Chain A
Amino acid sequence: MKCQFCSNPATVHLTDIVDSHKKELHLCQSCAEQHHLIQKQELNLPAILQSLIGQHLGPQTDELARLTCPACGIKYMEFRAQGRLGCPHDYVVFRAGLAPLLQRIHRSNHHLGKFPQRSVLAPEQQAELVELRRRLQSAIDREAYEEAARLRDLLRRKGCHG
């Protein structure tokens, strides 16, 4: 089939139904773009990949994919690839992704078992301690010993060694 405007092969086929009368248009890509019947198409690979991952992981992926745990530094996508979380605080940071996942695995997303007898650390406290430890580790790796000593002091003052 040839384009109705020029003689190039028609690749865009439009069907419009107005008052039960069918109108058909057969155009080539450039004539269709010229008449603003379709938007100029570019192959947006990242967008296609994102949408494929989205189909695989569920609707909130876009937002989830950008999440990184401030305490341990793990990205949500790293967790999905490895299947292992990085620290206790991930259960707070990745909550939106984890709750449906837990529902699928356990058919529930709420704990009904044993509770520790002592009061436990608040989530923010857990996160802060994990983060301090991460900064301490990076200070040690960079041989920034003064900073490391300061962080170690801070951890000790927080009074939690485990």
Chain B
Amino acid sequence: MNLDSLTHTSGEWLRGSGPESDIVISSRIRLARNLAAFPFTNRASNGQKAEIEALLRERVAKLELEPKLSYLSIPALSSLDRQLLVERQLISRELAAADGPRGVALTPQETISLMVNEEDHLRLQVMRSGYSLEEAWQEIDRVDDLLEQRITYAFSEEFGYLTACPTNVGTGMRASVMLHLPALEYTKQIEKVFRALQKINLAVRGLYGEGSRASGHFYQISNQITLGKSEANILNEIQSVIPQIITYERQARLSWLRDNRQGLQDKIARAYGTLCSATMMTSEETMDLLSAVRLGINLHLIEEITIPTVNELFIYTQPAHLQKLRGTSLDGEERNAARASYLRQRLREAGAHPN
């Protein structure tokens, strides 16, 4: 698999389609699994990690999946390529930064990714554009069943799928939905929503997971509890609150529009104007401005640009993507200039040929 091909697509989660895609960016489920006969990754020697990798790689290659998964060894990748995979949410920051034999198996559409020798031997991930948790579950459950025919998982009747960290034991499942919530944030109702979610044991994180800031007003909502509930139950709990949050965000958008249409229109026009003409642009500022433009498109306040284009800009202006596009490594200042120039060029093209 040639990673350069990734820089010609925006990946599954930013396809900008699927149910409720004005607010729900993507749905993602991951399962943590371990081999029964090996120590967990943190306790495995490099020799054992190599054995685990070879074994999983061979079994994954035999899976009856169409299209086939391609395997990438992480130590063989440049740090830029690793960062590229992190930005596309195909591998975790932890896997990118870890030591020893490890890798990831991917489908070309980037819907399935199987991380090898992360905190657990195997981390399965399925991603869907828009609000499609159910579909993501069907897919990951099928892949898990296929793998299980060839791999003896560490499992106990009492505690379920056994994981290196007790916070993942049981189903080993983390289901998450990524939402774009600019109006709830602007109207300061977002804290209220978070507090309500925490009470029912759902976690809220930023775009790139644990500890990351919610840049661009993107939020990931996921389950925290993995033991004592069935997968269907966990999914139901998330699915029972997401439609409410979507409704709140839509209401907040409409009341913003009703109460201060001029101000909102101005904010969006200024964001678009800055993106079209600035000559230096940080990643953070780009995210915030694109977030405003994305909101403007969904509210029909701006017509020069489409959602798939905005989504593409979100991902291509990330540091590793930008450097891949330029074909050279750039320091912080150079990146800001390259980012601004890239944005100007893309928006000029989009403005010349509005869809």
A-side residues, CB < 8 A to B, are 71-72, 74, 82-88, 91-92, 98, 101-102, 105-118, 120-121, 123, 125-126, 129-130, 133-134, 137, 140-141, 160-162
Contact: B171 with A114, CB < 8 Å?
yes
Whether B77 is near chain A, meaning CB under 8 Å from some CB there, is: no
Beyond A117-B148, A162-B151, whether A84 also contacts B55 by CB under 8 A is no
The residues of B that contact A141 with a CB separation of less than 8 Å are: 45
CB pair A113–B229 under 8 Å, yes or no, is yes
Does B315 interact with chain A (Cβ within 8 Å)?
no
Jot down 19 A-B pairs with beta carbons below 8 A, ordered by A: A85-B163, A85-B166, A88-B34, A88-B36, A98-B159, A101-B166, A102-B227, A108-B227, A109-B228, A111-B156, A111-B157, A113-B171, A114-B141, A121-B37, A126-B36, A129-B36, A133-B48, A141-B45, A162-B52
**Using a CB-CB cutoff of 8 Å, which residues 13-63 of chain B contact chain A?**
34-40, 42-43, 45, 47-48, 52, 55-56, 59
Number of interface residues of B (CB under 8 A): 51
- The complex places the Cα of A101 from the Cα of B119 at a distance, in Å, of 20
Known: A102-B159, A111-B227. A162 touches B170 (CB 8 A): no
With both beta carbons as reference points, the residue of chain A lying nearest to B164 in the complex is identified as A84
Q: How far is the CA of A137 from the CA of B42 in the complex (A)?
A: 15
Distance of A126 Cα from B152 Cα, bound (Å) = 10
User: Known: A109-B227, A113-B230. Is A87-B39 also a contact (CB below 8 A)?
Assistant: yes
Given contacts A160-B152, A162-B151, contact A84 B119 (CB under 8 A): yes
Q: Is the CB of A111 within 8 A of B158?
A: yes
- Known contacts A88-B34, A111-B157, A161-B37; 20 further A-B pairs (Cβ under 8 A): A74-B43, A84-B40, A88-B154, A88-B162, A102-B227, A109-B158, A111-B160, A112-B230, A114-B160, A114-B161, A117-B145, A120-B152, A120-B155, A120-B156, A130-B39, A160-B152, A161-B55, A162-B37, A162-B151, A162-B152
List residues of B (42-96) whose CB comes within 8 Å of A's CBs: 42-43, 45, 47-48, 52, 55-56, 59
Query: Closest CB-CB distance, A77 to chain B, in whole Å?
Result: 15
Name the residue in B40, B42, B59 with the highest tally of chain A Cβ atoms < 10 Å from its Cβ.
Answer: B40
Complex Cα–Cα for A112 and B157 (A): 9
For residue B314, which residues in chain A have a CB less than 8 angstroms away from its CB?
none
Which chain A residues border B163 with CB–CB below 8 Å?
85
The answer for the CA separation of A141 and B38 in the assembled complex, in Å, is 17
Residues in A whose Cβ lies below 8 Å from that of B56:
162
Q: State the main secondary structure of chain A at its contact with B.
A: loop
B residues less than 8 Å from A113 (CB atoms): 160, 170-171, 173, 229-231
Select B227's contact among A88, A92, A110, beta carbons within 8 Å. Answer: A110
Instruction: Give the distance in Å from the alpha carbon of A80 to the alpha carbon of B342 in the complex.
Output: 49
* Neighbour of B35 across the interface among A98, A117, A162, CB < 8 A: A162
State the 6 A-B residue pairs at the shortest beta-carbon distance, nearest first. A108-B228, A111-B160, A88-B154, A129-B37, A113-B171, A106-B227
| Nearest residue, chain A, Cβ from B34 | A88
Q: A118 near B148 (CB under 8 angstroms)?
A: yes
B42 in contact with A86 (CB, 8 Å): yes
Residue of B nearest to A88 (CB): B154
Judge if B153 is at the interface, Cβ distance under 8 Å: yes
* Distance to closest chain A CB from B41 (angstroms): 9
B153: nearest residue on chain A (CB-CB)?
A: A116
**In the complex, what residues of B have CB within 8 A of residue A125's CB?**
36
B226 to chain A: which residues have CB within 8 Å? 106
Residues of chain B within 8 A (CB-CB) of A87 are: 38-40, 43
Q: Which residues of B contact A74 (CB under 8 A)?
A: 43
How many Å lie between the Cα of A160 and that of B151 in the bound state?
Answer: 10
Tell me how far the C-beta of A87 lies from the nearest C-beta in chain B, rounded to whole angstroms.
4
Q: Which of A83, A91, A98 has the most CB of B within 10 A?
A: A91
Among residues of B, the one whose C-beta sits closest to the C-beta of A126 is B36
Q: Is B328 an interface residue (CB 8 A)?
A: no
Contact A112 to B37, CB < 8 A, known contacts A85-B165, A88-B154: no
CA distance A137 to B39 in the complex (A): 11
**Docked complex Cα distance between A115 and B229 (Å):** 13
B228, closest chain A residue (CB): A108
Q: Which residue of chain A has its CB nearest to the CB of B150?
A: A162
A85 lies within 8 A of B164 (CB): yes
| Residues B218-273 near A (CB distance < 8 A) | 225-231, 233
Of the candidates A71, A101, A118, A162, the one whose C-beta lies within 8 Å of that of B59 is A162
